[in-house]
Amino acid sequence: MDLSGLKDKLSYVRKVNDNIAIGALTTPEDLAETFLHKDKKYLGFYDIYKKFASPILKPLATIGGNIGVAVSASDYLTFLLTLNAKVKLVSVEGERLVSLEELVVEKRTLAKDPNELIYEIIFPELPENYSTAFMKIDRREVIVTGYITTAVCLKIENNKIADVRIAFDRVNKRIPSRAKKTEEFLKGKEFSVDIIREAYNKVLPAEMVRKSDFRASGEYRLDLSKVLMKRTLLQAKSRIVEGV
Amino acid sequence: MALPTAEYVKIVEELFEKVKKFTYVGKHMQRWDAIEKILGKTRFTADYANLYRNLVYVYSVRAKYAHAKIRKIDVSEAEKVSGVLKVITHKDVPGVNDVGYVIPDQPLLAYSKVRYIGDIVALIVAEDPYIAEEAGEKVYVDYEPLPVIIDPLEIVDPITLEEKKHVLIHDERESDIVARYRIRTGDVKKGFDQASVIVENEYRTQYAEHAYMEPEAALAIPEPDGGITIIASTQCPYEARRAISKVLGMPFNKVRVVVPPLGGGFGGKEDVANEIGAKAALATLLTGRPAIAVHTREESIIGHSKRHPAIMWYKHGASRDGKLVAVEARIILDTGAYASLGPFVAWRATVHSVGPYKVPNAKVDTVAVYTNGIYAGAFRGFGNPQIHFAIEQQMDLLAEELDIDPVEFRLKNILRNGDRTVHGQLLDHGVGLEGALVKAAKIANWYRKRAEYAKQTGTIRKGIGAALLWHGNSIGAEGADYSAVSIIINRDGSVTFRTGLTDFGQGAIQGLIMLAAEILGVPPEYFRVEMPDTASVPDAGPTVASRTTAMGGNATLVAAYKLRKKLNEVAADMLKCSPDDIEIKAPEVYCRSDPARKIRWIDLIEECFWKGISLQEYGYYRAPKARWDDETGHGEPYFTYTFGAIIAEVVVDMETGKTYVERMVTAYDIGRVVNRVGAELHAEGGAIQGLGYALMEEIVHSPEGKVWNPNLYAYYIPTILDIPKEIIPIFVEAGYIRGPFGAKGLGEPSINGIAPAIANAIANAVGVRIKSLPMTPEKVYLELKRKGLIKL
Amino acid sequence: MSTEEYPEIEITLNVNGKDYTVKVKPYERLLDVLRYKLGLSSVKEGCGRGECGTCAVIMDGKLIASCLVLAIQARGKKILTLEGLAPPGKLHAIQKALLDTYAMQCGFCFPGVIMAMKSLLDRNPNPTEDEIREALSGNLCRCGSYLRFIKAAKLAAEYIRKGQVYFEFKG
């Protein structure tokens, strides 16, 4: 269905109470104009933008569409999972709010009625001492799906991991998901490369099932997940502590 | 065969000896078509659709299996779709249903079986492209699937190279071996006995795709006399005419092929252009209307020739003092479902199989085999990127074993003037390889960087690697090697330039204009290059094999020389001085001894007209005949060789395995630089294409023979974010007596040495050697992990 | 429903400063309308999937893949193609800079590349090398003129900053 007539109406980023709402038809190009690309807490959005498809698609793709297709390569979906985002669905019968995690059940499958439209995405504003990061790696720099992608949302207090959420393009299903056991392991611990290493070597492999396809092997993808987990966490931490 | 006494040979040799100072040759000049292109006015083939009314659209219905017998093709439902004018199958082909390039093994429209996923079973001709595609769904083919072979090692034994027992892909040929070549020089057993180090490895290279930005297209127009004109995106108009005439069953003179500028070719627009031209022509023949066929990107990737994947086993021996003593190799090339140019590719790979080195003892065996993959044919480099990837890593490994610097080791073994190649060919002059290597090493700061990079720690490391290359010019012993141009000086003094050589972006035609301008004494802007058209331009042979500058250049010299001679004589008459004293610097013509005695160019031309001196000249050049002994691989396979040295600098991220190429120095001996801009762009473009080949590109077939990545999203070619900060082109101008003013070709060689230089740089950076292409992050990382060099 | 049953819809769009009213089928792409209905054949089709950039045009100030926009979605929009970049008989600074750097090879990617440069320079009059690379990263060039594109974009920016937007040319 062509929703472009609604474009102006559903393209926005707003602060509502303690939440941030993004209209479903907001494009990556639109997002780039908002505070989400400047506020160091939300630089994960900027990271996605840099690696998102290619410049000629940034004004055409929408954040609602990215979630709607529900595939591993849905970078916004992966990232929004770390923000505990919810989705507002609207139909003639009314509207309802459902968590992103519950909405996306399988590859290309959403837990919603066909007549329900993705209206907006809502997530709680991040308090101080939080930041985010997103990384994607592939053979070339852009116009890629990514061998894997990783998104994190981190809170550091007195060099402790006060809160952490880590999402990958897949953990054990064919959709972006959170690595919750790994998160649990890290929570409350002193932030260090050693503890991250322990988390990705001991905990992550227990909850992650990586598959092989013609582009890369499961073994490589698992190891790359470890590397990007480390790098996104270091990046988020640097954004919190150093401001860059 | 070009006798040394032939007039055209004398002209080329005389000009090489005589002319050493140039006005246009070797200068940076804007190409003749730059303005129309920059304005977006250039018409590529598909753009011609706007100029014709009443077009019909041709859609190709392709195979559902990569290997199957066809029991029945039912088009009755498709024919009923409103808007469909005709559904064409093999039964409708009036001539010969074959578009095979070297061997008649490739039906235009499949009838008894399909051999790969791109085979075409029917063509839908409809009023609208969307209708044509819809109707395509309604062609029902009853297939009997056969086993699909994707691995060439199911066809041949890797050690004996004998054909294995298997379900034949080409049962009509009774064998799936397409071609075999060999070299036997000296005695390898004795050679290896003298060796103090021996290095033996297997290397593999992948299926690669040209990915020119313009997908294939052809537009056919009915002519009143029953003939057909085809506007086609082809590198080779005369070759396309031959192929299309054969399919239509029409004499050559009723089939006219016109070639607009091409949006890239790289060798890919040879056979597929014959195919798409024939499809459009058939549709026109059978409907009486202009017909257009344009491939989608997916069709382009699935349906046109690829670079041959290769499996290469190499054994090299060297003496303690660093001299090569023996090389033994077995090379298996997978030509996919059809031969295409496979036999020629295999031959070129064999000719170059020991690299640009002095090798006293060699034993090489090459075999090209069919599989059910996409057919493989011509692609820039033509077999050479594959073998150089192996040879140049072997050279580094030998240097490492001997503890000699890789550049020094190469300097001990390279071909120089006076040396003989492995085929016994004497290279008495024009070998600029040493100069290329020494200059490249100097500009790249080779020795300092090798020393510096040896001390690195951490997980991000730099490396520097070198590779040498050679490349026989033109088509050699593959076939009749001639070229032709015609130059017409019009009565207003403007110049018309015609040749059957085409431009697919490389700009080589600009070089021809510069050569003609140089000899005639008129500026390049006096020239108009006519579009290649079999109705007017001379047959110049195919635009392949880096032959435009060398071969077309010689033909240009001959035509321009003959014109200049006439002009000098008429001018001498007008100015009352000797013809040798005439200087032409259009718009003026004067006596060199007395520049005050002058006439205008336009008056000279007018005088020729009244005197009955024709200013329309045809230039023809035929290369010296190549010699090749099939039993020994001895002879003179090519009349000359381009040489080069590549130095690549990389940064490798050991945790991800990803390689970034930071800088490349490319030094080529191309005899004399004619079109300097074109030469630099070749050096840069070849390096970037080579980088893609080295690190990211690969067409992947499923076990069923389907293609996993028929798009530009998963067939990765470099973007502007993936290329080096700097590519430094250097030219060594050693000079070859039978090239135009000494020039040799560069189109193809510019990709040969890139992948091995990057491989050697990766090895230098992180200590692992990747022996298969592409050298993906995964391969580098897993090799580091396997060797315990990285631990997460 | 087969393709011919779809009704045609009349739309108006502004291309290169001029309004055009055309009838389109609902599945027709902006690319097809520009190329075949308006005859603006500088807009190329290289992949039809937004992966190559040869069909890039500027729509309401943004660089987009015209193969992924339906013609009806472009209703009422302002579109710029290479044909409308400079007044007749003139070269735009970007075109001039690409000639100055001898960037031309096959030229099939050029219309898209030029539009991408225009889109960049409209936003950023003095881009860094990294910014240029990012802005052109959706335009594939197989001949490999990339390094020249970087030089040309810098040079064009310089021309424009000096107020030299259009140039006379011969030929």
From the centroid of its chain, how far is CA B767? Answer: 33
Q: Tell me, what's the pLDDT at C171?
A: 65
Q: Which CATH class is domain A130-241?
A: alpha beta
B52-81: burial string, b at 16+ Cβ within 10 Å, e else: eeebbbbbbbbbebbbbebeebebeebeeb
Q: How many angstroms separate the CA atoms of A83 and B732, rounded?
A: 59
Q: How many angstroms separate the CA atoms of B447 and B653, rounded?
A: 23
* ipTM score over 0.95, yes or no: yes
Q: Tell me, what's the pLDDT at C58?
A: 98
Q: How many angstroms separate the CA atoms of B604 and B91, rounded?
A: 60
Residue C77 has phi, psi (to 5 degrees) of -90, 160
CB atoms B713 and A200 under 8 Å: no
Task: Choose which CATH entry (3.40.50.720, 3.40.50.11810, 1.10.150.120, 3.30.1950.10) describes domain C90-168.
Answer: 1.10.150.120
Instruction: Output the six-digit token pair for B124.
Output: 């839908």
Judged by a CB distance cut-off of 8 A, whether residue B722 touches chain A is yes
A99-120: burial string, b at 16+ Cβ within 10 Å, e else: ebbebbeeeeebebeeebbbbb
Q: How close A79 gets to chain C, by Cα (Å)?
A: 22
DSSP C55: T
Q: How many angstroms separate the CA atoms of B89 and A75, rounded?
A: 46
Chain A, nearest residue to C131 by Cα? A50
pLDDT tens column, B282-313: 999 999 999 999 999 999 999 999 999 999 99
Give chains near A: 3+ CB pairs under 8 A.
B, C
Q: How many angstroms separate the CA atoms of A65 and A76, rounded?
A: 10
Of B751, B745, B733, B682, the closest CA to residue B552 belongs to B745
CB atoms B214 and C108 under 8 Å: yes
Would you place residue A244 in the very low, low, confident or very high pLDDT band (cuts 50, 70, 90)? confident
- Chosen from C73, C113, C118 to mutate, greatest number of chain A CBs within 10 A: C73
Q: Tell me, what's the pLDDT at B624?
A: 86
Reply yes or no on whether the pLDDT at A7 is more than 80. Answer: no
CB atoms B695 and A139 under 8 Å: yes
Residues of A with CB below 8 A from B709's CB?
214
Phi-psi region of B476 (alpha: psi -120 to 50; beta: other; left: phi over 0): left
The Cα-based distances of B133 to B53, B57, B296, B299 in angstroms read 21, 10, 11, 12
pLDDT tens column, B327-372: 999 999 999 999 999 999 999 999 999 999 999 999 999 999 999 9
Q: How many angstroms separate the CA atoms of B472 and B56, rounded?
A: 44
Of B323, B353, B358, B373, the closest CA to residue B154 belongs to B373
Indicate the residue of B708, B774, B785 with minimum beta-carbon distance to A214: B708
Enclosing H/E stretch for B716: none
DSSP secondary structure of A33-85: TSGGGTSGGGHHHHHHHHHSS-GGGTTT--HHHHHHH--TT-HHHHHHHHTT-
Q: Tell me, what's the pLDDT at B478?
A: 77
Of B440, B442, B441, B463, the closest CA to residue B452 belongs to B463
Q: How many residues does chain B have?
A: 792
Q: How many angstroms separate the CA atoms of B297 and B291, rounded?
A: 20
Chain C stretch 107-126, residues whose beta carbon is closer than 8 A to a beta carbon of chain B: 107-111, 114
Q: Identify the weakest region by mean pLDDT among A44-53, C3-12, C70-79.
A: C3-12
**Contact criterion met (CB below 8 Å) for B234 and B269:** yes
Q: Tell me, what's the pLDDT at B746?
A: 96
Q: Tell me, what's the pLDDT at B1?
A: 45
Reply yes or no on whether the pLDDT at C1 is more than 60. Answer: no
Residue B423 has phi, psi (to 5 degrees) of -90, 0
DSSP β-ladder status, A160-168 and A148-157: antiparallel
**Domains of chain B with bracketed CATH:** 7-30+482-537+545-622 (3.30.365.10), 45-146+216-294 (3.90.1170.50), 310-474+628-786 (3.30.365.10)
**Contact criterion met (CB below 8 Å) for B266 and B203:** no
Is CATH 3.40.30.10 the classification given to domain A4-124? no
Give chains near C: 3+ CB pairs under 8 A.
A, B
Q: Tell me, what's the pLDDT at B3?
A: 60
Chain C, nearest residue to B526 by Cα? C171
Q: Identify the weakest region by mean pLDDT among A4-8, B298-302, B341-345, B538-542.
A: A4-8
Q: Tell me, what's the pLDDT at A5?
A: 66
Instruction: Output the six-digit token pair for B43.
Output: 């018409």
Q: How many angstroms separate the CA atoms of B77 and B140, rounded?
A: 8
Of B700, B693, B697, B699, the closest CA to residue B756 belongs to B693
**Contact criterion met (CB below 8 Å) for B504 and B269:** yes
Indicate the residue of A56, A141, A143 with minimum beta-carbon distance to C63: A56
Q: 3-state SS string over B145-183?
A: ECCCCCCHHHCECCCCCCECCCCCCCHHHCCCEEEEEEE
Reply yes or no on whether the pLDDT at B4 is more than 70. Answer: no
Alpha helices in B696-776, H assignment, sequence order:
749-752, 754-766
Would you place residue B5 in the very low, low, confident or very high pLDDT band (cuts 50, 70, 90)? confident
Q: How many angstroms separate the CA atoms of B543 and B751, rounded?
A: 17
Cis, bond preceding A205 (omega within 30 deg of 0): no
Q: Identify the weakest region by mean pLDDT among A229-233, B16-20, C112-116, C138-142.
A: B16-20
DSSP secondary structure of B612-659: T---EEEEEEEPPPPEE-TTT--EE-SS-EEEEEEEEEEEEETTTTEE
Beta bridge partners of B156: B163
Enclosing H/E stretch for A110: strand A109-110
Q: How many angstroms separate the CA atoms of B416 and B428, rounded?
A: 9
- Return contacts of B604-610, CB within 8 angstroms, 24+ apart: B604/B567, B604/B570, B604/B571, B604/B574, B605/B489, B605/B490, B605/B491, B605/B492, B605/B493, B606/B491, B607/B570, B607/B574, B608/B489, B608/B566, B608/B567, B608/B570, B609/B491
Q: Identify the weakest region by mean pLDDT among B381-390, B474-483, C160-169.
A: B474-483
Would you place residue A67 in the very low, low, confident or very high pLDDT band (cuts 50, 70, 90)? very high
Would you place residue B456 in the very low, low, confident or very high pLDDT band (cuts 50, 70, 90)? very high
Q: Tell me what the pLDDT averaged over chain B comes to.
A: 97
Residues 6 or more apart whose CB falls under 8 angstroms from that of B596 comprise B590
Give me the amino acid identity at B694.
Answer: A
Reply yes or no on whether the pLDDT at B496 is more than 60. Answer: yes
The C-alpha torsion from A11 through A14 and A16 to A19, rounded to 10°, is 100
DSSP β-ladder status, B527-529 and B495-499: parallel
Q: Which CATH class is domain C3-81?
A: alpha beta
Judged by a CB distance cut-off of 8 A, whether residue B723 touches chain A is no
Instruction: Report percent pLDDT > 90 for chain B.
Output: 98
pLDDT tens column, B113-122: 999 999 999 9
The Cα-based distances of B180 to A94, B315, B331, B368, C21 in angstroms read 73, 19, 10, 7, 63
DSSP C82: G
Q: Tell me, what's the pLDDT at A3?
A: 58
Reply yes or no on whether the pLDDT at A56 is more than 90. Answer: yes
DSSP B41: -
Q: How many angstroms separate the CA atoms of B571 and B591, rounded?
A: 9
- Classify residue B641 by burial, with Cβ atoms within 10 Å: 0-12, 13-18, 19+: buried
Residue keyed to tokens 């959706």: C138
pLDDT tens column, B171-208: 999 999 999 999 999 999 999 999 999 999 999 999 99
The answer to whether the pTM exceeds 0.95 is yes
Residue B558 has phi, psi (to 5 degrees) of -65, -50
Reply yes or no on whether the pLDDT at B85 is more than 80. Answer: yes
**Contact criterion met (CB below 8 Å) for B225 and B219:** no
Domain spans, chain C: 3-81, 90-168
**Contact criterion met (CB below 8 Å) for B166 and B405:** no
Chain B, nearest residue to C94 by Cα? B38
Of C117, C11, C15, the closest CA to residue C63 belongs to C117
CB atoms C137 and A141 under 8 Å: yes
CB atoms C108 and B504 under 8 Å: no
Residue B6 has phi, psi (to 5 degrees) of -55, 145
Indicate the residue of A4, A29, A143 with minimum beta-carbon distance to C51: A143
> Listing from the earlier edge strand, what are the strands of the sheet with B68-74?
B113-114, B68-74, B140-145
Of B770, B279, B781, the closest CA to residue A219 belongs to B781
DSSP secondary structure of B317-370: EE-TTS-EEEEEEEEEEE-TTS-TTHHHHHHHHHHTTT-SB--SSEEEEEEEE-
Reply yes or no on whether the pLDDT at C4 is more than 70. Answer: no
Q: Tell me, what's the pLDDT at B99?
A: 97
Instruction: Output the six-digit token pair for A57.
Output: 């698609």
Q: Helix or strand or coil: residue B783?
A: helix
Q: How many angstroms separate the CA atoms of B650 and B41, rounded?
A: 40
Instruction: Report percent pLDDT > 70 for chain A.
Output: 98
DSSP secondary structure of A181-216: HHHHHHTTSBP-HHHHHHIIIIIHHHH------SS-
Domain spans, chain A: 4-124, 130-241
Beta bridge partners of C24: C9
pLDDT tens column, B599-629: 999 999 999 999 999 999 999 999 988 999 9
Indicate the residue of B718, B778, B781 with minimum beta-carbon distance to A140: B718
Reply yes or no on whether the pLDDT at C81 is more than 90. Answer: yes
